Amino acid sequence: MPERGGAIVLIGFMGSGKSAAGRRLEMRTGWPRYDTDAMISERFGSSINEIFAQHGESEFRRREAEVLLELPRERAIVVTGGGIVLRPGNVECIRELGTVVNLTADEQTLFDRVSRRTSRPLLQGPDPAGRLRELVRERGSLYRSVADFTLDTSHLTRDEVVKAILARVELPRHDVH
Ligand code: S3P
């Protein structure tokens, strides 16, 4: 089994707080932050919604696997898109990067959070709450099985989320600010 790297990798459903936690972890550790959605978006020069609409989900997933492979094996914060665990090849790569943290929240909290932003292509249909529920049920155990630990963020502030993550990940002392 390949050795695991020193990154903190955030996985979990849309609205679980990966992006916000990733930004705060970047500040606290001073490590570089990589966001797979942002990397894909940058490459296409368009939003995730536009990529799904113009090129389809399978092309997005292909690019997602590609950017994952390009991430350096170093201390870093890696924020992933909610569907990244769907490809078995990605799972192996994610675990090689470092400690994998699954952020989760109850369905209502996830729905409230994703409803604040309209940029989730998978929730654009006529019944976004129903679709979200389906996806959460389909993917919940997958996230848990990929992660080293799971953190329910439903009732936590953003700072509490970061504190809880840092408490579980072994970091060199001087790296935490
Ligand atoms: C997706 C989640 C999104 C983005 C894309 C697909 C998913 O990322 O990658 O819309 O399949 O769950 P976030 O988890 O950051 O919203």
Per-residue pLDDT of the chain (177 residues; tens, 9 = 90+): 567 899 999 999 999 999 999 999 999 999 999 999 999 999 999 999 999 999 999 999 999 999 999 998 899 999 999 999 999 999 999 999 999 999 999 999 999 999 886 678 899 889 999 999 999 999 999 999 999 999 999 999 999 999 999 999 977 666 777
Inside any domain, residue 19 = yes
Q: What is the pLDDT of residue 2?
A: 66
CATH of residue 142's domain is 3.40.50.300
Q: What is the pTM for the complete model shown? A: 0.95
Q: What is the pLDDT of residue 1?
A: 59
Q: Which residue has the tokens 């979990």?
A: 12
The DSSP output letter for 101 is E
Inside any domain, residue 123 = yes
Inside any domain, residue 65 = yes
CA-nearest residue for atom 15, ligand 1, is 81
- Residue 50 CA to ligand 1 center (angstroms) comes to 13
Inside any domain, residue 54 = yes
Q: Which H helix or E strand runs over 99?
A: strand 98-104
End-to-end CA distance of the chain: 33
Range of the domain at 23: 7-168
Inside any domain, residue 100 = yes
Minimal CA–CA distance to 129: which of 17, 15, 42, 43?
A: 15
Q: What is the pLDDT of residue 99?
A: 96
Inside any domain, residue 154 = yes
Inside any domain, residue 1 = no
Inside any domain, residue 2 = no
Q: Which atom of ligand 1 is least distant from the CA of 19?
A: 15
Q: Please count the structural domains in the chain.
A: 1
Residue positions counted in the chain: 177
CA 43 to chain centre: 19
Q: Which atom of ligand 1 is least distant from the CA of 64?
A: 9
Per DSSP (E only), the strands in 1-53 are 7-12, 33-35
Strands of 33-35's sheet in order across:
33-35, 77-79, 7-12, 98-104, 149-152
